[in-house]
Amino acid sequence: MTMTNKGSFKAIGKESIVEEYTDGIKIYLESTDDQFIFKEKWFSRFNDKLSFESVSDTRANGGCELVRQKVKNSKITAFGVVDRDTLLKDPDFQDSLWWEIDDEVFSSRKPYGETIFVLHRWELENYLLHPQALASLVADKRLDATTSATDIAKLLFDREDEMVAVTLLSTIPAKNCIAQAGEQVLRDKLGDDLKQAVKNKLQAQSDVIESEQIKIKNFVENEQDHIKRWHRLSRLLDGKRIMYRIDDLLFSGKVKLESERGVLAGYIAKHKLVDSALTNWLEGIYHSAIVS
């Protein structure tokens, strides 16, 4: 794949995507952010055989469908990776596989076939929000390494209900096929004020909200270790909504995690925290390319 600029300095960094034939196997991803992380941060060792390519400049609505179409129509061997939240928008899976807690069962289902890997978490951002990666970022920004991953996980535990509450701003509208509120809506609200504001915003019955909260909290699986607990719960949290709240929690909004995704991805690789299921899937494709 090559990138072309349309002749304006304003377009630098926003080049159009031009697809060309390349040797090897294509791995289609939903956005150029995903492409950078896969190609440069996590799986560069596969670049001689696997071509990581984006279907869009940004992760927009319909990214999953674009990935699936690209894989289906590719003239060479191709695979794709899509966010878990695509299941939330799919009537065939929003009341079933979307809520699957067991990762092994989830992996085995393959809702879009053998060639499409569905991430185990809401979206790629969720993988970047591991307490160890966040602790490393805090240390580098503050030039102080006294805040541990466990400290970060405990802070996240204290705000757990808030993280679930803002996620409802996405899950309930998606199921009802109505527009979702902006990702930073109610960012200034905390605790009970946030919960009431979410209820008012959704105009949903209390039993509907409570049921949705319980189903999300079930992903904790009664885990008491704070780091493991966050790792399990964050599978079903809206990655971008909680990212903004973590901005405020750790940096009082002075550091934007959205702009630190590449750095966080590097920490994830450094601490060997890249998702094992995703890694094993790509390794299988890579080794098949070697022997073919």
Read off the pLDDT of residues 177-230 as tens digits, 9 standing for 90 and up: 888 889 899 999 999 999 999 999 999 889 999 999 999 999 999 999 999 999
Is 17 in contact with 57 (CB distance < 8 Å)?
Answer: yes
Choose among 127, 158, 107: nearest CA to 269.
Answer: 127
Is 232 in contact with 199 (CB distance < 8 Å)?
Answer: no
Question: Left if phi > 0, otherwise alpha if psi is -120 to 50, otherwise beta: which for 24?
Answer: left
- How far apart CA 182 and CA 275 sit, in angstroms, is 29
Task: Determine what percent of the chain is predicted with pLDDT higher than 90.
Answer: 84
Stated pTM of the model:
0.89
- How far apart CA 166 and CA 66 sit, in angstroms, is 27
Q: Where are the chain's structural domains?
A: 2-120+275-291, 125-270
- How far apart CA 189 and CA 169 sit, in angstroms, is 13
Q: What is the pLDDT of residues 216-270, one digit of tens each?
A: 999 999 999 999 999 999 999 999 999 999 999 999 999 999 999 999 999 999 9
- How far apart CA 38 and CA 46 sit, in angstroms, is 10
Tell me how many degrees the CA angle 106-66-172 measures, rounded to the nearest 5.
Answer: 55
CATH, domain range 2-120+275-291? 3.40.50
From residue 54, alpha-carbon distances to 147, 173, 181, 291 in Å are: 36, 27, 26, 26
- Structural tokens at position 107: 């992996």
From residue 180, alpha-carbon distances to 185, 218, 249 in Å are: 10, 23, 24
- How far apart CA 252 and CA 72 sit, in angstroms, is 45
- Structural tokens at position 257: 């995690």
Choose among 20, 39, 40, 42: nearest CA to 29.
Answer: 39
